[in-house]
Chain A
């Protein structure tokens, strides 16, 4: 025992509980999903002949359409949120002053309400004869087309739901830019655009990149927005996974699609991290 204590320092020893927790709570289920992806379709036991049959089936089917929808919607969400959130983050850090806390609170408050409740609330708001269209009709006589159950509203819903996950890391990033550096740039004759391009954006990149990654990973796994707001006009990959695990009872196929999704997302994230080394941009080395 003493030898063990001498071999491993207090750090590794104290990390044992969390390592066990992660092994049981994260690694084991993940390994189970990977293992299931190799067993024959529509079976439930791991103890049988493994094959790549489920992956072959995926590549021969139209599941790529769902992959493309998920990736496309996630990229669109990230781009829209980047454009929307950067000015807000800048305002929260440099412009709004004592109102910044209140505005931050307003952005954070929706997180305290379940996502499903908020999304169903949107349906009641936007549906034909609902809060918006019904009020316009009865108050002003306008009869407009409803926008529920469309791809556009799915995207809008994703932008709304994931806004805090882009805004808060971005705000942190913008707040890391020293005011003295900006002042120095202005004193040396830089224009506002030059200060933004040469000072603000590069120095706030840690927050921006973390916001991008967080939002992308969450958005690519989004399901409720397409199901409820989009009325399944778009089938994201998570919906295919859900159907495989429920109505189809094809756990191996669902597991194989999940593994592919993890690989695709993991690869994209690694590519971004190769371009932007988080340790470097947060100043650890």
Chain B
């Protein structure tokens, strides 16, 4: 208070300028304040769900930390934000399976987590995720790179009142090769996944090197699919169009994208995994598994690993599965204490009845070697068929 009494107009301006400069410099001018803040904050870059109040608020209350979570809806953007220098901002990153092992760890964007502390949690997950779980480990199998939680098959979605589940599973990707289906389908603007699906429609595995012949087939498929699409839009638009009868089916989609419609009582809106397809072993669908990793932040929040452990509990796993937005199975459903928290309605929403067989028929999401080229072809196809 004594200091306050000495504030004059002149030194008020000087102090204000100093604080403004310190603020603008992101705390760089006051290192003591900046470093102290890292045990009072946690920053998470994630898909939607982990940023919901149901997940974050209990952690905030128990730790007193300021937890900020930014939600994005595509992996490449999140990875490239770390590449662009945001490793000093984020503490945790939540993306799909191949990125941690194949891209982020080799590029030093993430760091291993304490294996002794976290590996026992994999023992409580569904059997397919038991340790050592491939996508959570580095190539050498020595370091644990993150924790697996939400997952699901992700191929396409149909209105079973218009196309039966059996027909859709049997026809698979050829639904898009049948000219009679023009204007009966939509395309969700999930462009990275649409690249995978267009490869499947063109008849080859997206996750291997592609020949010139493959690329030509892909180009043709891209033009055909976008020309025949009733519309391209976000998942809310897709589900709305399915429910209203504007379209009969859409790609890309799965449990994740159609769960809001199913939660609204539309159980005729169903994610489909084709019975067969061009992926290794004749698999017809593609699945995703999120891996949440600790960012290689030089000034990492002391709460980063604690948060990873916090979301492993049966109660919080259930909350993560049914956080706001979309709803998904979680690996922790392998634990009876977690599974019993899901009621019948929730199990119906996430298509628990066919989950195991659909995952078995799905190849796991992987890096597409020539993704940039295929994405550019798809973007051009979308543009060149516009107005049609």
Contact = CB atoms under 8 A, between A and B. Distances in A.
Contact of A148 (B80, B236, B246): B246
Task: Tell me what chain A mostly uses at the interface: helix, strand, loop, or mixed.
Answer: loop
Contacts of A248: 76, 372, 375-376, 379
Nearest to B233: A231
A62 B372 CA distance: 17
Contact of A246 (B77, B233, B245): B77
Contact of A128 (B232, B245, B382): B245
A188 B169 CA distance: 81
A199 B383 CA distance: 46
A248 B84 CA distance: 15
B246 A66 contact: no
A233 B387 contact: yes
A42 B233 contact: no
Contacts of A123: 237, 240
Interface size class of A (residues with CB under 8 A): 20 to 34
Contacts of B77: 246-247, 249
Residue among A69, A120, A130, A249 with the highest chain B CB neighbour number at 10 A:
A249
Contact of B192 (A65, A130, A247): A247
A169 to B, nearest CB: 31
Contact of B380 (A62, A232, A234): A62
Interface in A217-250: 227-228, 230-235, 240, 243, 246-250
A62 B383 contact: yes
A246 B74 contact: yes
B76 A246 contact: yes
A146 interface: yes
A61 interface: yes
Contact of A149 (B76, B231, B236, B379): B231
Interface string B205-247: 0000000000000000000000000111100110011001110
A30 interface: no
B84 A44 contact: yes
A249 B244 contact: no
B25 to A, nearest CB: 13
Which of A148, A151, A248: most chain B Cβ within 10 A? A248
26 contacts: A44-B84, A65-B386, A124-B240, A127-B240, A127-B241, A128-B244, A148-B231, A148-B246, A227-B189, A231-B231, A232-B232, A232-B233, A232-B382, A233-B386, A233-B387, A235-B382, A240-B379, A243-B379, A247-B74, A247-B77, A247-B191, A247-B375, A248-B76, A248-B372, A249-B77, A249-B80
Nearest 10 interchain pairs by C-beta: A231-B231, A232-B232, A149-B231, A247-B191, A235-B386, A235-B383, A249-B80, A129-B244, A127-B244, A128-B244
Given A123-B237, A247-B76, 13 more contacts: A42-B372, A66-B383, A69-B387, A124-B240, A127-B244, A146-B246, A233-B231, A234-B387, A235-B386, A240-B379, A243-B379, A247-B74, A248-B379
